[in-house]
Amino acid sequence: MNRALRAAAMGVLLLTPVALSACSAGQVAQTAEQNRDKVGGMAAVGDIAIRNARLAYPVSGEYQEGGDARLVVAIANGGQTDDTLVSVEGKDFDAAEVTGAATPTAGSGDLDIPIPAHSNVYVGGGGPVVTLTGLSQSFAPGQSLDVTMTFQEAGAVPVQVLVGVSTRDLPRGEPFDFHQQEAGVAAGGSHD
């Protein structure tokens, strides 16, 4: 019996490092720290977290200079105190106007969007709608502009707002034929 007990103890001692090393699998991997599939700007100030800040996809494929763009952003308040988004400002547009669940404004840049404690507010996605008016230049999907969001309690936070991409397949033009150009060079054309 003593011999069997020793054999079992040796087996446990030999297998323990193997079993324990398997417990950390995936914890040191590069993917454990990646923040994937984010399509908009992120920032934080105080208890306020801004996530997925972007402009809605422009229906015509590009926002025109002087035009308007709808802001889409998730704002999370993880604190104990209610807060209020009071302004959205930037050098690439004239003003921010709000309609929807909050008190409508008329281009003054002053907003009044409540952000209750321990909750999320989805601007431009079922809640209040903020429109950036008088764009200073044209913006295409994938480009960005800098805005400053100011909260009554938490203060100001700069955030990069991306121009959204389409969520559906878009028609594409004819692909470029690289072989046609090579055929011209082989037939006596020249490289420039």
Q: What is the pLDDT of residue 149?
A: 95
Closest to 100 measured CA to CA, from 127, 81, 65, 118: 127
Q: Which two tokens stand for residue 60?
A: 């015509």
Residue 87 β-bridge partners: 110, 150
User: Is-contact 36 144, C-beta < 8 A?
Assistant: no
Q: What is the pLDDT of residue 102?
A: 47
| Annotated domain spans of the chain | 37-163
CATH level 2 (architecture), domain 37-163: Sandwich (2.60)
C-alpha to C-alpha distance for 82 and 69, rounded to whole angstroms: 28
C-alpha to C-alpha distance for 55 and 88, rounded to whole angstroms: 13
The tens place of each residue's pLDDT in the chain, 192 residues long, gives 577 777 777 776 766 666 666 555 555 555 555 554 456 789 999 999 999 999 998 888 899 999 999 999 999 999 999 999 999 999 999 999 987 654 444 444 578 999 999 999 999 877 899 999 999 999 998 899 999 999 999 999 999 999 987 666 656 667 777 776 555 555 555 555
Rg (CA), the chain: 27
Closest to 67 measured CA to CA, from 76, 75, 77, 59: 59
Q: Is the dihedral of CA 165, 167, 170, 175 positive or negative?
A: positive
C-alpha to C-alpha distance for 107 and 121, rounded to whole angstroms: 21
CA distances from 155 to 4, 83, 87, 95, 152 (A): 70, 10, 10, 19, 6
Closest to 72 measured CA to CA, from 166, 162, 170: 162
Question: Tell me, what amino acid is at 52?
Answer: N
Q: What is the pTM assigned to this prediction? A: 0.65
Query: In terms of C-beta density within 10 A (0-12 exposed, 13-18 middle, 19 or more buried), how is residue 59 classed?
Result: exposed
C-alpha to C-alpha distance for 40 and 9, rounded to whole angstroms: 56
Q: What is the pLDDT of residue 67?
A: 94
